[in-house]
């Protein structure tokens, strides 16, 4: 294995370096990591760092050859536990919304993890080599939660990865999500502000509002339709890109995302209904500068369970507004 330079994605912004390595190279021991740091073999943007260093999106991490202590990584540095099945690869190719010489955009299915880790043998990162088509293996430049569906961008080249990562980091990308929430938002359109910090809890690591120690997080929202007092269909425009930002901000508004038991608990489900007990959060649209010039606009159809719930609640897809209009973009 040769020395690699791996870009920190937007969703990894704020991660500790040791935890970043644990996620991307799970077989690398902490002792071996500390030795590589002490000897300067691991660097961030060319500088020596310690294991507790907080990473920023767009930074470049130098990863030396890891030998037998870590399985061969895929394009973004993750160990690949098993080869993808033919059916999985065909499904991935069917999910492509746009592709050209610089990038690929897919409509990620709900339930597909973007990156691997303990107990996650099947993930998108482990299938990216199947999209190489004789060129470089595509690279991840941002992420979606496992249970969130929708628009996900992959870079075909290192140059494209730098440009796209910069676009996400500088907030040049407009991201619009759909969510079905339990309850009715306090107003038809507004902005949710709440700094987010990571905490450990009984249900695993979570994010919570913490104005003193958290990182700034801002989400615009507008209601598309409402079903009495039971549910609302909302569009969400995150101005920042914090982990689980939309899930926490919807909860903060008093309307947890339907199916999000991690944050909403029992209140995230409508008992006595036939609504699917799955996360109802979908990355609907994305507009961002294309590495070759101009602006690329992509819209992703919602997954079957989301469509089913819209129909059950009496919402009409034809009522959805243009996702690229009406936002006060910075």
What residues act catalytically? 145
Q: Are 255 and 182 in contact (CB under 8 A)?
A: yes
Residues in a beta bridge with 105: 98, 153
Q: Cα–Cα distance between 282 and 129 in angstroms, integer?
A: 25
Residue 194: CB atoms within 10 A of its CB come to 21
**C-alpha to C-alpha distance for 127 and 120, rounded to whole angstroms:** 13
Q: In 19-34, which positions are buried (b, 16+ CB within 10 angstroms) versus exposed (e)?
A: ebbbebbbebeeebbe
Q: How far, in Å, CA of 212 to CA of 226, rounded?
A: 34
The answer to whether residues 16 and 51 touch, using CB atoms and an 8 Å cutoff, is yes
* Among 3, 2, 5, 30, residue whose Cα is nearest residue 16: 30
DSSP 170-211: TT-SEEEEEEEEES--SSSEEEEE--EEEE--TTSSEEEE-T
263 Cβ partners below 8 Å, 6+ apart? 206, 244, 247, 248, 251, 256, 257
Cα 275–Cα 309–Cα 188 angle in degrees, nearest 5: 115
């Amino acid at each position: 294995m040769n020395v690699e330079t791996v870009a920190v994605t937007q969703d990894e912004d704020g991660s500790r370096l040791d935890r970043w390595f644990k996620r991307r190279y799970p077989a690398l021991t902490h002792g071996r990591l500390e030795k590589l740091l002490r000897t300067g073999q691991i660097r961030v943007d060319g500088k020596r760092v310690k294991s507790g260093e907080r990473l920023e999106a767009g930074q470049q991490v130098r990863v030396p050859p890891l030998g037998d202590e870590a399985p061969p990584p895929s394009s973004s540095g993750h160990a690949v536990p098993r080869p993808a099945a033919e059916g999985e690869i065909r499904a991935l190719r069917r999910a492509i919304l746009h592709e050209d010489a610089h990038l690929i955009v897919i409509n990620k299915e709900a339930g597909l993890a973007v990156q691997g880790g303990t107990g996650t043998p099947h993930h998108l990162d482990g299938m990216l080599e199947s999209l190489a088509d004789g060129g470089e293996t595509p690279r991840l430049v941002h992420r979606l939660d496992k249970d969130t569906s929708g628009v996900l961008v992959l870079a075909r080249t290192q140059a494209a990865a730098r440009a796209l990562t910069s676009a996400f980091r500088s907030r040049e990308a407009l991201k619009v999500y759909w969510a079905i929430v339990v309850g009715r938002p306090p107003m038809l359109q507004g902005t949710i502000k709440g700094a987010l910090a990571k905490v450990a809890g009984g249900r695993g690591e979570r994010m919570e509002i913490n104005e003193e120690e958290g990182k700034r997080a801002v989400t615009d929202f507008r209601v598309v339709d409402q079903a009495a007092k039971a549910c609302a269909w909302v569009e969400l425009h995150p101005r920042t890109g914090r982990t689980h930002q939309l899930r926490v901000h919807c909860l903060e508004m008093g309307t947890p995302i339907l199916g999000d038991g991690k944050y909403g608990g029992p209140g995230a489900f409508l008992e006595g209904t036939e609504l699917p007990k799955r996360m109802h959060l979908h990355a609907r649209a994305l507009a961002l500068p294309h590495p070759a010039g101009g602006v690329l606009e992509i819209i992703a159809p919602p997954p079957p369970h989301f469509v089913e719930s819209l129909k059950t609640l009496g919402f009409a897809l034809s009522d959805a507004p243009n996702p690229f209009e009406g936002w006060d973009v910075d």
